[in-house]
Amino acid sequence: MVKLPSGERSIAVGLARVCYNGGMDLFASVEEIKGIGPKTAETLKKAGIKTVRDFFYNLPRDYDDYQQATSISKMRPGKVVIRGKIDSLTTRKARRRNLSITEGVIRDTTGAVKVVWFNQSYRAKQFQPEKEYCFTGTYELKNGRWQITSPQSAEVADVDPKSGLSPVYVAHGAIRSYNFVRLMTNARDKFSEIPDLLPGIAKGVRREALYKAHFPESLTEVSNAREYLAYEEIYELILASRLNRRENEKLKGVVIPFKVEKIREFVRKLPFKLTNAQRLSAWEIFQNMEQEVPMNRMLQGDVGSGKTMVAALSAYEAILAGEQVALLAPTAILATQHYEGLRELLGQFGVRVELLTGATKHKPELKKRILAGGVDLVIGTHALLTDDTEFRRLALVIIDEQHRFGVEQRQKLMLKSPAGVAPHLLTMTATPIPRSLQLTVFGDLDVSILNELPKGRQPVITTIITEVDTAERLYPKMQEIMTSTPDNRGKGNKMHGQQIYWICKAIEDENGAKMGVNGAKSGAGAGGGSGGGSEITSVKKRCRRLREVFPHARVEFLHGKMKPAEKDDIMEQFANGEIDILVSTTVVEVGVDVPNATLMVIENAEAYGLAQLHQLRGRVGRGASTAYCYLLTSGDTPPSRRLRELERSNDGFHLAEVDLKLRGPGEIYGALQHGALDLRIATLADTKLIARARKDVDKFLDSGNLADYPELMKGISRYQQITTLN
């Protein structure tokens, strides 16, 4: 029995058939695996399986149990497990669009039964008539004939004879689960070459855990193996975070003294009162910037919590010390919004604020002034990152929605400070992050939280409705919104009434096919009023439909495949009140502040994660008027827990914790860092495992030598670039 370092449970049974000798390069190309050629490797790489390590850590998502097989003659309605050979396989298109039907006959010595799969045309090529297979599925009466519907299957040779278990892998492109089973079986003898990884762990535990995850003799073995592998992932993540902090603390920053009276004067002149959370966050930032070690702080707050105000205070403090500040925004329209607001706010104190985007005129002259120190605060987009944009004394970098920028882009801006000095870094995000995620992924960051909304800010009233209720319940509400008095903070001369966002999941291509926002064909989601719910209504189709329903409304569409100038133009029109209904993909998730937009409709709401739904909802409710969000669903299935949670709560931090439990860290962190957190096994909701790993990492750092563990050094390198300053 092999125990975890702190551990209560263990990885069961030895691996008698695998001898522990030698080691392999787990970071070699996946083509090193027997049976994986260039074409298969290319498909795998698109799915993130690039190395030998990725291959072995691509664990089964489930295990089918074929132990209790019955003969065909003894089957009864319901879930069945049978063994037999299959023939007469054919695939045909159904009358209903986008539906293929694959049929065949399974036979054993006692009889035969029809088998049917829907939209799984690859099944026709999967089976060989001379081989025996196991099947598990539903035996039922359909159209007057008994059949097994959409069964899982495995070749008998691939099923463990003792346990009856067969692993089920996530399909990637043309590579199906049974292909993975075959590839993993081909690599079975290579498990003996997997090197050890973590300090303080008995020899061979890692390879034993991986082997048992792919070839288990019981589900208990699976549980124990996954526990160790989850611990291993968390250990690597925490270790990388700790090392990041150590490296950042070696850097030298600019000491910016706290000018108490100047800041008090600034706050007194504000037209509103700061929240306690804003005051505390600003104080934490001021304390950081007084130190020689450069600040590395994340400011996280729900939509509308006042992050920009805290950023303004931070920038003003640095400028009072004679330093320069750069604020990087992901889009030109958002950069312009920051520029207009901060110029008005800081200009009265003599702060020189400029905007630098791709559309900025007289860029050479502006860049000369920046280099000469004639500009205090530069707000811009990627134009700030070009080599010819240089600063005289850049001491503070503020990055809004930092997840929109890659590591290299962020570091490019950080390197524009004077030689030998690292600027203070303040990153901002409107995606609330659960505490467990903060302590692991962002353990090297200081975190400030804005968990209060400014006085007068109202919660968004959220309602779940089905698409069949659209005409009766939603359209009248939309008409009411568009005839309501415009919010008094809007540019009323161009506004008919209040405005509406309508979010769609897809873009319509030239052939009329429904395409997802990333270009992939969509096969599930809200039907466009068809009642079937099998297709996703595209942005363009929805726009045409709304123009028919509301002939006097100004309806336009927006999506990510439009040119940047086109997107900026549409958003500017919407901000100016020239558009009543904006039909868009999630490109508006991070966008310009439109106080006059008071209704958000999210079509096909089930297709989004909870964090993203909350972000989209945050586009409305920014003005004085009551705001509404309608979550539009299709079909007869009851709303999911995440939609119910969104309906009852406006608290982004509560929803982030719920999201973590429901979907794991990928949904939350994927939005934050473009998938850099690649946790395939662990869940950050396992607080006991995190605490255990954190304790063991600290113990290793006190007495161990990372150089003695080259495999571990390679493993953590992918995490070390997440938040490091240098």
- CB-based burial of residue 178 (10 Å sphere; 0-12 exposed, 13-18 middle, 19+ buried)? buried
Whole-angstrom CA distances from 1 to 15, 343, 662 are: 11, 66, 33
- Picking from 464, 609, 601, the residue whose alpha carbon sits closest to that of residue 539 is 601
CB 382 within 8 A of CB 404: no
At 197, is the secondary structure helix, strand, or coil? coil
User: Cα separation of 305 and 313, whole Å?
Assistant: 15
In the chain the domains, ranked by start, together with CATH numbers, are 2-61+186-238 (no CATH), 63-168 (2.40.50.140), 260-450 (3.40.50.300), 461-649 (3.40.50.300)
User: Cα separation of 247 and 348, whole Å?
Assistant: 39
Mean pLDDT per block of 10 residues along the chain (726 residues) reads 34 33 78 91 89 93 86 91 92 77 93 92 89 91 89 87 85 85 90 91 93 92 93 89 83 92 93 92 96 90 86 97 94 87 93 93 94 96 90 93 63 81 88 64 76 77 92 94 74 70 71 38 33 54 94 91 84 91 82 86 88 86 89 83 90 79 54 49 76 89 86 77 51
Q: What is the pLDDT of residue 588?
A: 75
At 697, is the secondary structure helix, strand, or coil? helix
CB 665 within 8 A of CB 214: no
Maximum Cα–Cα distance across the chain: 92
Q: What is the pLDDT of residue 507?
A: 60
Residue 324 tokens read as 């320069």
Q: Torsion angle of alpha carbons 380, 386, 389, 392, nearest 10°?
A: 100
- Picking from 5, 59, 49, 42, the residue whose alpha carbon sits closest to that of residue 26 is 49
H-only helix segments in 165-259? 177-186, 205-214, 219-248
CB 683 within 8 A of CB 664: yes
Q: What is the pLDDT of residue 642?
A: 85
- Picking from 586, 591, 553, the residue whose alpha carbon sits closest to that of residue 571 is 591
CB 604 within 8 A of CB 536: yes
Place of tokens 């067969």: 166
Q: 185-197: buried (b, 16+ CB within 10 Å) or exposed (e) per residue?
A: bebeebbbbbbbb
What DSSP assignment string belongs to 39-79? HHHHHHHHTT--BHHHHHT---SEEEE-TT-B-GGG--SEE
Q: What is the pLDDT of residue 510?
A: 36
